[in-house]
Structure 1
């Protein structure tokens, strides 16, 4: 029943908590996100555990530094087997281009499949007040589109963006560009600390290729049933 478009966020400190959820979800989920909380706690062990069970892994560490540091950091991370890794688009064109070129070169040298490299545009937790507080005069949507185009030009495979901007990114960047959308909240669930959100069906209709879902599954009384309900909703959009 697994739908590879659904990525479940493993936002845990403990390996045992991650293991418990992955076991509970079983064959219903094939793709997982390992973020800062889990990776900084247990390290590459989390990735190894998932890969040994045939799962795909999105390593969500959002690298952001000078071009060489980010590029070499990615090369160190890619050997651990993640299928997708991300960086911050706000690091600029040169950082993104250097990262893409270096990672592809290292993968070729290793004879390995290059992980998908995507760029975070604007965090989905940022609302208009936060945005203006940063001194920004353009609209959030305008900046997201600008960063998506820049990431594509730099040779990246896609971006992380809110589902509310997915349609505009799809129009700007074409049919093959990946759009990974957090901030997914099924009807009737809490928005938590997310500001720019959408339901699974709406996000896919807007052009998202992958949906990242954490708390609506992890905090549900029956996580597997919650995941399968989301998949059922996703199947309405092919």
Structure 2
């Protein structure tokens, strides 16, 4: 009788193993991708300004997670860039390159990334299921402290006098304006005279008919200086 019970138990275990192997053989791996409108991609590359302690320059993005077999268990975050400091925020919970547990029924996740030093980081989001089947989406972030502003200049005449020219720098811009950057001051060197203003136009009356050399540049709110633009103005 004892031998029969043992045999039944062994057959039951064998049947369970066979069932598990069959289920695993029919399993489809999960999928993970970045969402951009109606498009999805397994890679996302962006530049992001280095944040301070308060994390004022976040990058927001959305991940799509799918598993037709509903075996999805979680997502691993791996940063393959050494000496890089990164935070990923998920559902208002701040995690530092740790395992993110997710609801298997969730199709998309809104996430936020912050970087705290310059350089390129490659962050891999690895979705895995209970059979250890995986899929990977890679986020490449280029952290920067500041980007130089760009100076643009136009010279116009003035109706009041043939000797007056309007030096217009209003088309100048700060390349990291979406992160709060702005042009703080406008610099003009005209006929040996230097002018610094907070306005983007300057009217100047030249003393006589001749050709004059001018140079202009702009400074942003991080005291970064643009390239200098030099040119000639002729008063006929």
Shorter-chain TM-score range: under 0.3
Higher RCO (CA-CA < 8 Å; seq separation 6+):
1
| Larger helix fraction of residues | 1
TM-score, structure 1 normalization: 0.21
Which of the pair has more CA radius of gyration? 2
